Structure 1
Amino acid sequence: MEGKQTIWFVIISALVLAVQAEFTVEAETQLRTDKLANYSVDVRPSGQTIIQLSFFLTAISGVDIRNQIFSVAGWWSMRWTDSRLSWTPSDYNNIPVIQLFEDKIWTPSVVVDNSVKDLSAIDEDTIPLRVDSTGSVDWNPPGLISVSCNMDITHFPFDTQVCALQVTSFGYTIQELDIYVYEDGINLGYFSEDGEWTIVSTWKQRATYQEGNYDYAR
């Protein structure tokens, strides 16, 4: 009898369970109406806006030694506070959180400035933002990112490369918008090894740069 190979294809469904007070469609509709009635997506939250940021790396999708390009897949975690979106839950049937899309509220122009593809802001119009009653906004847009990386293959095939995701904000000075990278700036909790490359370590480094009379965060 010939041997038979079996491939198990497993679909894992992740469910996020939350204990949440009951609320009505009418209450959430009223909340959205009240918060967005005089809201301008072009106006930044008042004071200095702090963007808390990290990148959840899921895979190394390519290391192009010849063209010096490093490619990864994952998603961003961004958090900031917009006091215009805060509310008193008891006024709206105890609603603690709502979800809004990026065309409804202000979002930061955060850019990977060593990208080899484009320098457009990190965004994803199909991923909603979670806003809680304190005005805290959480956003997790996915990304397939390719960056330039100066690679040295002197010790190939036992070489070690150092590549960076350089993140900055276009259009806002550091006094208007600052970027704070979490301690685990590159989060490896969901990372899958590719068999060829191993991540030895990750770290973050803060820098500022000046253009004209203005300072910007990186």
Structure 2
Amino acid sequence: MDLKMLFLLAGGMLVSASSVDKHRLVAGLFENYDKRIEPFDDDYPLDVKMDLTLIEIMDIDETKQVMTTHSWITLKWVDARLAWQPEHFGDVTDLRIPSDMIWTPDLTLKNTVELNNQLLPGGQNNAILLSSGEVILVYQAILKTSCRVDLSYFPMDQQMCRISFHSWSYTGDKLNVTNGAGEPGDLNEYISNMEWILLSYEKSRDTTFYTCCPEPYITLNFDVVLRRRPCSSWSIS
């Protein structure tokens, strides 16, 4: 047997061993896992970090008062039920698992103009599971949000449009959602718009208490400030 064949056989054996380790790991993790059960209890809230990478301002409809954006949503949290010790599974430190197999936070688009405001990963999105139990979920979304457009100074107007999120069923003492409030938003992948100049993209977080209930209600905000490009031929229909 020549040397090339020996290398191929050795490589195949390594791949096979790795597959066996991952199979054992996945089987063990999900043997009694129920995605309908939250990964937290009544005594400690679950910390969920959210970020919204702004990719593109697709449209601002002045008549309908709607902004349409293309964004990447990133969610991070820890599910202790999905933690493992790598040394017991061939030093596997991470897995890619279809996101519909695990519990995910029910963050929704608060100021949507569409009937369905649930933020769900589309297509075959995978969640990244780390051995520490950390879950990282990244997916794309087209968001249509209400935006009060003031045309008093058209065509030299400036607009501020807010994109807001909250949990649909959990209060802040159960689900502690954060977005790095006070920091600038992520524009690393931003594509400039032909009609609008992006002046700023900022993050904020609101905590509200209502007279009916002692629990806090948390809203995450992403504020987009735009100025219409000068000498454009855009018109309002």
TM-score with structure 2 setting the length: 0.79
CA–CA distance in structure 1, aligned partners of residues 118 and 184 of structure 2: 18
Answer whether contact 2:66 2:146 (CA < 8 A) is retained.
yes
Answer whether contact 1:77 1:138 (CA < 8 A) is retained.
yes
Select the residue among 118, 121, 146 that pairs with 1:121: 118
Structure 2 residue 66 is matched with structure 1 residue 69: yes
Alignment partner, residue 92 of structure 2: 95
Alignment partner, residue 176 of structure 1: 174
Q: Deviations over 1:116-172 (max 9, x none)?
A: 013432111521000100011000121000100111111111111000111100111
Answer whether contact 1:122 1:141 (CA < 8 A) is retained.
no
Q: How does 1:107-118 map to 2 (within 5 A)?
A: 107-118=104-115
TM-fit CA distance, 1:179: 1.0
Q: Secondary structure at the match of 2:27?
A: helix
Structure 1 unaligned regions, length at least 5: 1-20
Alignment partner, residue 206 of structure 1: 205
TM-fit CA distance, 1:52: 0.6
Q: Secondary structure at the match of 2:20?
A: helix
TM-fit CA distance, 1:48: 1.1
Q: Secondary structure at the match of 2:178?
A: strand
Answer whether contact 1:81 1:137 (CA < 8 A) is retained.
yes
Letter in 2 for 1:203: E
CA pair 51-72 structure 1, distance change in 2 beyond 3 A: same
Answer whether contact 1:57 1:191 (CA < 8 A) is retained.
yes
Letter in 1 for 2:64: N
CA–CA distance in structure 2, aligned partners of residues 180 and 206 of structure 1: 7
Q: Deviations over 1:159-189 (max 9, x none)?
A: 1100011110011111110111035563111
Structure 2 residue 52 is matched with structure 1 residue 55: yes
Q: Deviations over 1:42-73 (max 9, x none)?
A: 11112311111111111111000011101100
Q: Deviations over 1:27-54 (max 9, x none)?
A: 1011011111111101111231111111
CA–CA distance in structure 1, aligned partners of residues 209 and 27 of structure 2: 41
| Greater Cα offset, 160-169 or 113-122 | 113-122
Alignment partner, residue 165 of structure 2: 167
Alignment partner, residue 81 of structure 2: 84
Letter in 2 for 1:217: I
Count of residues in Structure 1 that have an aligned counterpart in Structure 2: 198
Letter in 2 for 1:61: M
Answer whether contact 2:56 2:193 (CA < 8 A) is retained.
yes
Letter in 2 for 1:155: Y
Letter in 1 for 2:83: S
Answer whether contact 2:99 2:137 (CA < 8 A) is retained.
no
CA–CA distance in structure 2, aligned partners of residues 38 and 65 of structure 1: 51
Higher strand fraction: Structure 1 or Structure 2?
2
Answer whether contact 1:111 1:119 (CA < 8 A) is retained.
no
Structure 2 unaligned regions, length at least 5: 1-13, 220-237
**Greater RCO structure (CA 8 Å; 6+ sep):** 1
Higher helix fraction: Structure 1 or Structure 2?
2
Letter in 1 for 2:201: T
Alignment partner, residue 101 of structure 2: 104
Q: Secondary structure at the match of 2:198?
A: coil
Letter in 2 for 1:25: S
